[in-house]
Structure 1
Amino acid sequence: MTGAANPLRGEAVVQIENAAVMLRPTFQALVAAEQELGPLFDLVERAAAGRMGLAEMVALFWHCLTDPPEGVTRERLGEAIAEAGLAAVAPVLKRLLHQILAGR
């Protein structure tokens, strides 16, 4: 990862393979996530209602991931999230969802 996360841009850091990696919700990343997951407002509503699935969270994180460590796959990202526990990654998810709603 290069540099620190900028919370004003919705950036967040998650641990994968003993490395801190940046999640950056760029327009391109969010469009890719929306193409896979459906409308982002629906995703935010599901998250707010406690109905967002782990696979949806992994997909959102995957699309927002920048410069992942070599060899890190989407499956490994999912395993890292499961290993960390939902409580540990909830602040990261919250920051990304806030950025979806607030914009830049």
Structure 2
Amino acid sequence: MSDVANSVRGEGALRVSGETLVVRPSFAALVAAEEELGPLFALVERAAEGKLGVGEMVALFWHCLRDCPEGLTRERLGEAVVEAGLAVATPVLRGLLRQILAGR
């Protein structure tokens, strides 16, 4: 699979440890995220209020990974997001949240 995000499909790209990870809010990914994090509308509301935790953001990214590179763990993804900084992760999160609300 290509490491290029296709914005038409609602995908976003996140650079982690020198590698581009593509996140895509597919139905299956969002169902898995919702099972862990609770209702997605509540997640969006928490994000809008600035109350979304880093763990919740990483969980959403984890569930929405289009292709998980071999050896990448959720813990490592979380560490990489923190290392890169929230300013890097926020645009990707915003795109996912937009897709949750608007759909494709």
TM-score, normalised with respect to structure 2:
0.95
Render the CA deviation track for 1:10-59: whole Å, top value 9, x for unaligned.
20011123110110100000000000000000000000000000000000
Match of 1:73 in 2: 73
Which one is further off, 8-17 or 85-94?
8-17
Give the C-alpha shift of residue 3 in structure 1: 5.2
Match of 1:42 in 2: 42
Give the C-alpha shift of residue 88 in structure 1: 0.9
Q: Percent identity?
A: 64
Match of 1:27 in 2: 27
* Aligned residue runs from structure 1 range 81-92, under 5 A: 81-92=81-92
Hey, what's the Cα distance between the residues in 2 that align with 1:23 and 1:92? 8
Hey, what's the Cα distance between the residues in 2 that align with 1:3 and 1:81? 18
Structure 1 position 12 matched with structure 2 position 12: yes
Give the C-alpha shift of residue 69 in structure 1: 1.8
1:62·1:74 contact (CA, 8 Å) conserved in 2?
yes
Structure 2, unpaired ranges of 5+: none
Structure 1, unpaired ranges of 5+: none
How many correspondences in the alignment?
Answer: 104
Q: Report the AA paired with residue 87 of structure 1.
A: A
Hey, what's the Cα distance between the residues in 1 that align with 2:35 and 2:19? 28
